[in-house]
Amino acid sequence: MKLTSIIAIYCLFWVMSAFMVLPFGVRTHDEAGIPKIPGQAESAPAHFQPGKIAKRATVLALVLFGLYYANYTFGWITPAMLDFTGGPPNYDGSRN
């Protein structure tokens, strides 16, 4: 696998991980006991910490990418294993 492919796939895993860890550890103003600004959404976080989210996303992305790369290297799960349709039919109409 080329280095550019590794970087691109890791970036995809990082963005996906960032969205996955975003809601964890968030407290609203009501939960934190802080008064809300008029017009503020009920679900707005009281203290947004992007650094903490980035660290969590980086760790999760490293784990997920490590599993992906190990599968790519060792071939634990192949595309043929995920084909539940039986594959394309042959010229005579049979499946194999």
Question: In this predicted model, what pLDDT tens digit does every residue of 36-73 receive, in sequence order?
Answer: 888 988 888 888 899 999 999 999 999 999 999 999 99
**Residues 58, 64, 68, 74, CA torsion sign:** positive
User: For 13-22, 58-67, 84-93, which range has the lowest pLDDT when averaged over its residues?
Assistant: 84-93
**Which residue, chain included where needed, has tokens 């071939």?**
75
- The structure's pTM equals 0.77
Is residue 12 classed exposed, middle or buried when 0-12, 13-18 and 19+ CB atoms within 10 A define those classes?
A: middle
